[in-house]
Amino acid sequence: MNNKDLLERRDRLLGVGAPVFYDEPVHIVRGEDVWLYDVDGKQYLDVYNNVPNVGHCHPHVVEALQKQSATVNVHTRYLHELILEYVERLTNTHDDSLSMAFLTCSGTEANELALRMARFITGGEGIICSNATYHGNSEAVDELATLFHDFKAKSKRVKAVPYPESYRPLSDAKGEALADVYADEVKKAIDEFKEEGIGFAGILFCPIFANEGLPNIPEGYMQKAMQHVRDAGGLYIADEVQSGFARTGSHMWGYQNSGVVPDIVTMGKPMGNGYPLAGLVAGADLVNAFRKDIMYFNTFGGNPVQCAVGMAVLDVIENEKLQDNSLTTGQYVKDGLNKLKDKHDIIGDVRGHGLFIGAELVKDHVSKEGAVEESARVVNEMKERGILLSKIGVHNNILKIRPPLPFSKDNADQLLSTLDDVLAGL
Amino acid sequence: MNNKDLLERRDRLLGVGAPVFYDEPVHIVRGEDVWLYDVDGKQYLDVYNNVPNVGHCHPHVVEALQKQSATVNVHTRYLHELILEYVERLTNTHDDSLSMAFLTCSGTEANELALRMARFITGGEGIICSNATYHGNSEAVDELATLFHDFKAKSKRVKAVPYPESYRPLSDAKGEALADVYADEVKKAIDEFKEEGIGFAGILFCPIFANEGLPNIPEGYMQKAMQHVRDAGGLYIADEVQSGFARTGSHMWGYQNSGVVPDIVTMGKPMGNGYPLAGLVAGADLVNAFRKDIMYFNTFGGNPVQCAVGMAVLDVIENEKLQDNSLTTGQYVKDGLNKLKDKHDIIGDVRGHGLFIGAELVKDHVSKEGAVEESARVVNEMKERGILLSKIGVHNNILKIRPPLPFSKDNADQLLSTLDDVLAGL
């Protein structure tokens, strides 16, 4: 079936406007390692997908899934050892204070639960988020989807603060002074909640501000911002749906890059390498207090198949040293992009962590106006040349480079040389 | 590891109070067909689980899962044929008017989306639910969890109406007059929303009122209630998470038992036989209007593995004629329970649809006071004798009989004779 027919069927069955990538979408039929294949056998280097974090159809993960699916799959109101093995291993990758977990089916469910917990524990309703973010698709979580609501919070109980950034900073202040400028915005939001009589529950941030475009965070910002949050009795929720599971290279979790330990950490996308698996970790006092009053049960959450798959993903991250690879190959990609920046004026900034890199395309280096149309052309042209990537950021002009973690230097060379060609041909 | 150690580990890793079944929980390690096996090799007849709808670890479903997991698993922003094949087949099992679908990871996500759609489309916030229900664990859906909130709605934008029932009816009226009494409660709730200046969005019901205890619905109630809803511009959302996928025997979908076609149907638990798969179907105008303004994307929702598994579940329902089996074996169980009712005074009422049956245990047939303590003893004693079932209903006294659909007459005989023994020994 050709793309035209497929798109017509999508309109008829999924509704007009079901989101799809690329001017001419790709029709994928097979995946392996960092590779995807379309219906005509064309090979694509996957430089976008973090869900297949340890590689598409990784045999160790597939085997675990196959084996447990054929053995038993029941809910957590029966006893099963796998959930305990998995949660023990998962919490061991976190700070000691984060010793308990809930397992869910999606990052949305994890963020829903985190917000419910924060509001229940603090007795407040007010949540702070960034002004260019997205954390999921349910009603309560959608209130924070500033990226889709003109960069504004959707409800009185949510306030959006400017995300910290150094490329187009809020003020001329530098270093710690700039961190203060941004942290003061958090303080201001907390004060506004107080003035409006809305109790403060906490802050929900992606610790590397992925949707915001992976900004360089002014040094000390997270410490200062979270001090304000905690002084006001609020909780820090870190959404690790994109930044977690070794993605940043230097650390297993994005929050470890700043050194500020959250009260709740939510996880999702890469957790099951594509199997619907997500959840959160939090401290024992918090979880026990919540459990005491709230009956929370998740039908599929924590089932043995989820846990077997989650364990296998952790196995592969360890066995294949994917965190190291994220660090070294990530740096290699970043170095290569910085070389391209010297050659192609359109690249205004290169930043990121490990194998999560943004390359910002701008009209010029002084105005820093986003090269929006060119960014779209680059993404589509890269796809034509067999490389899948995407865009992020408020100006929709940042190339989003977030491949499966087994991404090699050879893969990086292919990405860099193709990008070089495409930029030269603009 | 023994139960004591497992429970201690659960307390330490999942929090004190993570819900678990039975006074002495079962430690499950294997499942097949209608059977579960514990760590000591003890065999249990599963008379409770509707998630493994076509049988635990059904080979056809497991094979589809294994095959697609090893081939590719990507999100829906790339084109893939399986989601179209599956949605086409799924919507074909519904009324013609329900021609489009969203796929999600859980019933909670499906109900979240249905509520968002109903509120967006109508512009109203007011939702009616029953006064003894549960539809999921997110904030917006939890507002409807009257079963856990003292039978009251949790928010001003939700009103709980008495669920229709014939065993302990609201009034002495009979037949259609009783249906009027209950339908008037819906009208009253709509009027109250109007008086309070809260726009009306619709009603969310399980069409067989499963959590409420599978009441015999006064004839004509659904027609009358939904007429009020539609006269007021509201939508009827049917939650088929329990009643769907051939469970009621007479029909594929619970709503088909009343003949009133919903505007949105949500589905979950049995949809993927344990694989996290859920979703909703709705009319084209509704979906297109929602898609036009709202960016809804679900990372795992609609991925090729979900769809392959969903297709395999539909295959088995068809190939093994499980709807027929639900009807005939369900009737056989009901007949058997009615015979036990003649023998054991504690059984006050037997009711249900297909292989979803409730047996209400009461102190006596006049007061109809729930035999709560005895119900708990029966459930635990049945477990000791190798039969897994549970309880439902506002009085916590209704034996919940909802086995995987391949449940045979032999299985039914084992259930009935064991229950006979247990009731005799009370």
Residues forming beta bridges with residue A158, ordered by sequence position: A127
3-class secondary structure, A9: helix
| Of B21, B72, B303, Cβ closest to residue A56 | B72
Q: Which residue of B has its CA nearest to A64?
A: B66
| Number of alpha helices (DSSP H) and beta strands (DSSP E) in chain A | 12, 15
B59-86 pLDDT, tens digit per residue, is: 999 999 999 999 999 999 999 999 999 9
B338-353 pLDDT, tens digit per residue, is: 999 999 999 999 999 9
- Alpha-carbon span A59 to A53, nearest angstrom: 13
ipTM value greater than 0.90? yes
**Domains of chain B: residue spans and CATH:** 3-54+321-424 (3.90.1150.10), 60-319 (3.40.640.10)
A290-326 pLDDT, tens digit per residue, is: 999 999 999 999 999 999 999 999 999 999 999 999 9
- CA distances (Å), A91 to each of A311, B102, B257, in order? 12, 33, 47
Give me the mean pLDDT over the A255-274 stretch: 97
Chain A residues with beta carbon closer than 8 angstroms to that of B155: none
Q: Which of A112, A113, A297 to mutate to test the interface with B (most CBs of B within 10 A)?
A: A112
User: Residue B202 corresponds to which tokens in the numbers above?
Assistant: 């619709």
- What lies within 8 Å, CB to CB, of A212 at 6+ separation is A130, A132, A133, A163, A165, A206, A392, A393, A394
Give the global pTM: 0.98
Give the torsion sign (CA, A365, A367, A370, A371).
Answer: negative
B135, B242 in Cβ contact below 8 A?
A: no
B208-261 pLDDT, tens digit per residue, is: 999 999 999 999 999 999 999 999 999 999 999 999 999 999 999 999 999 999
Q: Does A40 touch chain B (CB under 8 A)?
A: no
Contact between chains at A299 and B51 (C-beta distance less than 8 A): yes
A144, A116 in Cβ contact below 8 A?
A: no
Q: What is the pLDDT of residue A1?
A: 78
One-letter amino acid at A19 equals: P
pLDDT at residue B42 is higher than 90: yes
Q: Which of residues 1-30 of A touch B (CB under 8 A)?
A: 1, 3, 6-7, 9-10, 12-21, 25-30
Minimal C-alpha gap between B44 and chain A (Å): 12
The pLDDT-based confidence of A67 (bands split at 50, 70, 90) is very high
The pLDDT-based confidence of B142 (bands split at 50, 70, 90) is very high
Q: What is the pLDDT of residue B30?
A: 98
- What lies within 8 Å, CB to CB, of B31 at 6+ separation is A71, A72, A73, A74, B37, B46, B52, B56, B57
Chain A residues with beta carbon closer than 8 angstroms to that of B106: 104-106, 109, 298-300
